[in-house]
Amino acid sequence: MKTDVRCPQCGCERIGKGKFKGYANLHPAGKIFSMGSEVVAYVCTNCGYIVQLEAARPDIFKKK
């Protein structure tokens, strides 16, 4: 994620990074045995708005 991002809700420039825990992995459609990828969230530290979500392992979503 770019470092010069502002929250679209409140304009804050302080964005934190977190990830979903437990079984909240993102799995590719049609790949039954995939372990999936963690989902990384970028969150406004002022209002809590989730600015962006991204897969930690985007390579598992490529089609063969």
pLDDT digits (tens, 9 = 90+) for 18-31: 998 878 888 888 88
Q: Which residue, 64, 63, 59, is CA-closest to 26? A: 59
Q: Which residue has the tokens 């934190």?
A: 16
Instruction: Spell out the domain ranges in the chain.
Output: 15-61
The phi and psi torsions of 58 (rounded to 5 degrees) equal: -65, -20
Q: Hey, what are 42's tokens?
A: 């970028």
Q: Which residues of the chain have pLDDT under 70?
A: 1-3, 64
Q: Hey, what are 34's tokens?
A: 């995939």
46 Rama class: left (phi>0) / alpha (psi -120 to 50) / beta: alpha
pLDDT given for residue 39 in this prediction:
93
For the entire predicted model, the pTM comes to 0.79
